Amino acid sequence: TNGDIYNSYLNSDRGAAFNTLMRILDEKSISGVSEEKWQLVEFASLDNSFALRLGAIEELTYLIHHDRERSWLLFEKLISGHALLLETHHVREFLHWSLYKNFLRVKPFIEKMIASTKPEVQEMGAELACIAAISETALESEDALTEAVILADETIKGSNSLRRGAASVYIFNMTKGTEPHIRKLCLEKVRTLVNDEDENIRNKIIQPFFSLGYEFFFDFRNLMEDIALSEYYPVNLQFTEYLWKHGMQDPNWT
């Protein structure tokens, strides 16, 4: 499992030595990266140890900011024949940072995560698919964006775990998205999940009202109406508190 592999990396002699060498090189390098670090990752890619390879992928999450192509090629070598690593949060994090102008190469790995039999892996795959679908300026082409949107739409209609992953991304970005049209898109996706059979998803939807600002009142009215009309939301403190604080912007509607 994810925790077992990473604990093996941290607690094994070779893993501890690898990590220590990386930290020493951090201190030696003015630029934050040195050729020796790349060589150590290359060395790990020739080793059969799942734990050592996972440690190397964790390092690539930082090295990718210095050389994206080299990091990606090393990742492909590290993951080759070691698909179990796709079940780890460290690989999920690396794939997240790899999406920029690189979706079509990342997509096969996301698809494998989505197809996993493990709910937590499915959820991570769905998150990555939906992040890509709302990152239109970060993808390499219109074709890449189209593929990302298709994949994300499949997750929001998929298993409980896939829908949970999609819900997490869309709920976060309906308030935190940088572009108004992205926030609007995410809001509409969230509305399709208001009456979801999964209680975890419904709890995710109501949670933002705990800290939501007044500026969202008018944009979120359709969502609030959906929640008010739904049989799945009994009297809810976050939701009613939000109306109490900000409802005077439109008293009759409130």
Q: Residue 233 has what pLDDT?
A: 86
CA distance 59 to 70: 13
- The mean per-residue pLDDT over the stretch 221-245 comes to 89
Counting Cβ atoms within 10 Å, is residue 119 exposed (0-12), middle (13-18) or buried (19+)?
Answer: middle
Angle at which helix 180-191 crosses helix 221-229, to 10 degrees, equals 10
Q: Residue 27 has what pLDDT?
A: 85
pLDDT digits (tens, 9 = 90+) for 35-47: 999 999 999 999 9
pLDDT digits (tens, 9 = 90+) for 99-143: 999 999 999 999 999 999 999 999 999 999 999 999 999 999 999
Q: By the 8 A CB rule, do 212 and 223 touch? A: no
CA atoms within 13 A on the CB side of 17: 6
pTM of the model: 0.93
Q: Which of 50-64, 87-101, 173-187 has the lowest mean pLDDT?
A: 173-187
Q: Residue 34 has what pLDDT?
A: 82
N residues, the chain:
254
